[in-house]
Structure 1
Amino acid sequence: MTFRQLGLSIYPDHSNYEEDARYLDLGHKYGFTRIFMSMLEASDPEATKAKFKKIISYGNTLGYDTVLDVSPRIFDDLGISYSDLSFFADLGVSGIRLDEGFNGATEAMLSYNPYNLFIELNMSNDVAYLDNVLSYQANEPFIFGCHNFYPQVGTGLPYDFFVRTTKRFKKYGIHTAAFVSSAHGNQGPWNVNDGLPTLEAHRHLPIAVQAKQLFASGLIDDVLIGNAYASEDELKALSDLNRYQLQFDVNFVPDVNDIEKTIVLKPQHFRRGDVNALVIRSTMPRVTYKDVPNPAHDNTIEFQRGDVLIGNDDFGHYKNELQIALQPHSDPRKNKVGRINEHELGLLDYVHPWSKFKFENHQ
């Protein structure tokens, strides 16, 4: 089974060891297990090696897997041979990410390195790059994929392009990763930093919502924070989210009653397989709680997309069925019991026939 991981990024060429170590400690506290580290700015082999090895070694003691971002130019600048990855093995990394590709044959050969370093390919191009690498009989378990991030506002990937490029990797079962952006981080590889997301639509969203969409797409295994340093609140928010099913943040209405709170928060919800365009229906609560009274309230308004509804005592057979409104409509037999966080309304598109989902409440 491929487990979904959380990761963070540090930039030793723009930071100091003490700050980075504190950040790794904080990430470790919240269950982060991957480090992305850029070596694209490196120039002095010995100074680079000493600086990077110190923080990588510390990360290793905390159980992190570190991936170094490199390019063909870095191999040349540091005098590293493609046939000898001992430089990276000596640093203690788990893998290297190739920001730019070679010719397919080189990547395939790199995947047979004796140190078992995995080779992470750039996923953010809609070309048959991976097919080319695999056609040279690459060591497939050691081939990973990771998207780019985009420091300049307006330059992140559009969602449809992201889907096409990622599917090129997922069809082979390749482990994938993409970046989300911290609202607090101001550190990246370059001197422009408008955030560091993979998807442009994520640039100004709360970090947990960004991650929820990546996981909900079913296309991304690992979510990495692109910029440093994320706040502790952001690290905790990512740590708390459910990586394996959508969990909507719901705000209850003032008159919500105890049975409605129970219906929203307790069951394992799933959407009926015979879907409709008006509402998402979770029908098991009407069976489980069929004998529990539920008087009408907040039932004479027009419901809007994202409203969480439960059938009241006037709804007969459908009393205590939970629904999420997809289109505006009115029905006095339903109570509005809450509303999904406005930032998460787009995630409703990921609730497919038979999709499992849950709710959480932070009020």
Structure 2
Amino acid sequence: MNEDDKQYLQSMQQHNFTEIFTSLHIPEGEPSQYATRLQELLEFTSDLSLHVFVDIDKNSLKNLPRGLTGFSLRLDDGFTNQEIAQLSQDGPIALNASTLSEQDITELKDFKADFNNLEAWHNFYPRPETGLDKDWFIQKNNWLKQLGLTTQAFIPGNKTLRGPIYSGLPTLEHQRHQDLLASALELTKYGVDKIFIGDPRLDPTYQTKFNDYFAKGILDLCLKASPNFPPYLVNKVLHNRPDPAAQVVRIVESRGMNALNEQTIQPLENIPRNVGSITIDNKKYGRYMGEVQIIKTDLPMDEKVNVIGHLDQTSIQLLAYISANTAFKINYKE
């Protein structure tokens, strides 16, 4: 491990990421070299309380020196169900979720596998067009959850992508170029328990976005250039109403904030309210003056409503995950 690797792992841990996935395919003649690298990783991650899952094949498992502890195994295809059952008696084991069948489950039960130590991990797919179909994935994941298995899937990274194709490492094909936080939230909606970053690096901006949502319950939204956007709404924790509207996000705090600023809001040039537009009701809306909304579906022009800004494209993908009382912040893009 070099210093860059260590700093990255420290940063991810500080942003509440808890597990690491790595590969250990040991050539016949070099088991000691790989064991040394794994030991170094385990010592470092132990200090950070990060748990390590190691992708391993039968040959590598055979060559793995005895005495190494503090990690779990993600088994490549090739292990028999009897071997898997035996390994599950010693600690957590991750199986290939996509190829796991009803016959496999029956055999694992017959061989007395410890299902408390079994997880089902979906693969990632480096080559474009080969990621999983969404509907098939949902059906498969639901079946695995009904069996009581913890499930896992991958989303791509964005700072550094893995070669030689450099097209991301998603489980679901349609997420290959989707916003990363939106992808994670979608997997959560499908019942996936653990979400891993497939590629080597996630940039600091997204580390913060993930931490804000999963540790603090706050969605980070970004503005495109919006000169008329009220500064009193920037970088504040805001909320959607407890009775969510179908077509807009209604910012609970906005009218009160406008009243504090004692602003009479004059009508601006009347333009359409497209998805991702941010609006404020002007004086023609009477007591609603000052209410700020985020538009979730294209709406027509309204002389009582001023368009004062627009979310960037990645933030628009997050609108589907704003429901009753959802907390969020709106900031200018860095």
Query: What's the TM-score, normalizing by structure 1?
Result: 0.72
Equivalent pair of 2:265/2:290 in contact (CA under 8 Å): no
Q: Bigger CA drift: 282-291 or 194-203?
A: 282-291
Matched AA of 2:221: D
Q: Distance in 2 between matches of 1:196 and 1:42?
A: 24
1:36 equivalent in alignment to 2:59: no
How many Å apart are 1:305 and its aligned residue? Answer: 1.0
How many Å apart are 1:335 and its aligned residue? Answer: 2.5
Name the SS of the counterpart of 2:126 in structure 1: coil
Q: Distance in 2 between matches of 1:342 and 1:47?
A: 45
Q: Distance in 1 between matches of 2:122 and 2:168?
A: 15
CA pair 231-133 structure 1, distance change in 2 beyond 3 A = same
The equivalent of 1:124 in structure 2 is 98
Equivalent pair of 2:281/2:305 in contact (CA under 8 Å): yes
Q: Distance in 2 between matches of 1:21 and 1:295?
A: 52
Name the SS of the counterpart of 1:54 in structure 2: helix
Q: Percent identity?
A: 23
Q: Distance in 1 between matches of 2:187 and 2:206?
A: 16
How many Å apart are 1:36 and its aligned residue? Answer: 0.6
1:272 equivalent in alignment to 2:243: yes
CA RMSD of aligned residues (A): 3.7
Q: Distance in 1 between matches of 2:325 and 2:149?
A: 23
CA pair 69-32 structure 1, distance change in 2 beyond 3 A = same
Name the SS of the counterpart of 2:35 in structure 1: helix
CA pair 102-331 structure 1, distance change in 2 beyond 3 A = farther
How many Å apart are 1:284 and its aligned residue? Answer: 3.7
Q: Distance in 2 between matches of 1:31 and 1:105?
A: 36
Q: Distance in 1 between matches of 2:125 and 2:258?
A: 51
Query: What's the TM-score, normalizing by structure 2?
Result: 0.78
The equivalent position to 2:70 in structure 1, one of 93, 102, 105, is 93
The equivalent of 2:229 in structure 1 is 256
How many Å apart are 1:302 and its aligned residue? Answer: 0.5
1:330 equivalent in alignment to 2:305: no
1:25-81 deviations in Å (ceiling 9; x for gaps): 4434544332111124644444432332222222222221100112xxx2245437x
The equivalent of 1:360 in structure 2 is 330
The equivalent of 1:341 in structure 2 is 312
Equivalent pair of 1:187/1:193 in contact (CA under 8 Å): yes
Name the SS of the counterpart of 1:332 in structure 2: coil
Matched AA of 1:200: E
The equivalent of 1:301 in structure 2 is 271
Q: Distance in 2 between matches of 1:258 and 1:164?
A: 45
1:242 equivalent in alignment to 2:210: no
Matched AA of 1:331: D
Matched AA of 1:97: R
How many Å apart are 1:210 and its aligned residue? Answer: 4.0
1:2-32 deviations in Å (ceiling 9; x for gaps): xxxxxxxxxxxxxx65664454344345443
1:58 equivalent in alignment to 2:52: no
How many Å apart are 1:362 and its aligned residue? Answer: 3.3
Name the SS of the counterpart of 1:163 in structure 2: helix
Equivalent pair of 1:176/1:221 in contact (CA under 8 Å): yes
Name the SS of the counterpart of 1:151 in structure 2: coil
The equivalent position to 2:154 in structure 1, one of 153, 158, 179, is 179
How many Å apart are 1:158 and its aligned residue? Answer: 3.4
1:140-184 deviations in Å (ceiling 9; x for gaps): 442323221111122222333333333333445643332232334
Matched AA of 2:273: F
1:219 equivalent in alignment to 2:194: no
Q: Distance in 2 between matches of 1:161 and 1:121?
A: 18
The equivalent of 1:13 in structure 2 is none
Name the SS of the counterpart of 1:272 in structure 2: coil
Q: Distance in 1 between matches of 2:58 and 2:154?
A: 25
Q: Distance in 1 between matches of 2:170 and 2:243?
A: 34
Please, which runs of 5 or more residues in structure 1 have no aligned partner? Answer: 1-15, 81-86
The equivalent of 2:126 in structure 1 is 151
Q: Distance in 2 between matches of 1:66 and 1:248?
A: 29
CA pair 271-349 structure 1, distance change in 2 beyond 3 A = farther
How many Å apart are 1:294 and its aligned residue? Answer: 5.0
Equivalent pair of 1:310/1:319 in contact (CA under 8 Å): yes
CA pair 27-358 structure 1, distance change in 2 beyond 3 A = closer
CA pair 186-289 structure 1, distance change in 2 beyond 3 A = closer
Q: Bigger CA drift: 324-333 or 133-142?
A: 133-142
1:316 equivalent in alignment to 2:286: yes
Q: Distance in 2 between matches of 1:246 and 1:166?
A: 27
How many Å apart are 1:330 and its aligned residue? Answer: 1.7
CA pair 320-140 structure 1, distance change in 2 beyond 3 A = farther
Matched AA of 1:272: D
The equivalent of 1:79 in structure 2 is 62
1:282 equivalent in alignment to 2:250: yes
CA pair 268-231 structure 1, distance change in 2 beyond 3 A = closer
1:238-273 deviations in Å (ceiling 9; x for gaps): 5544126461413162122345x27x9333324625
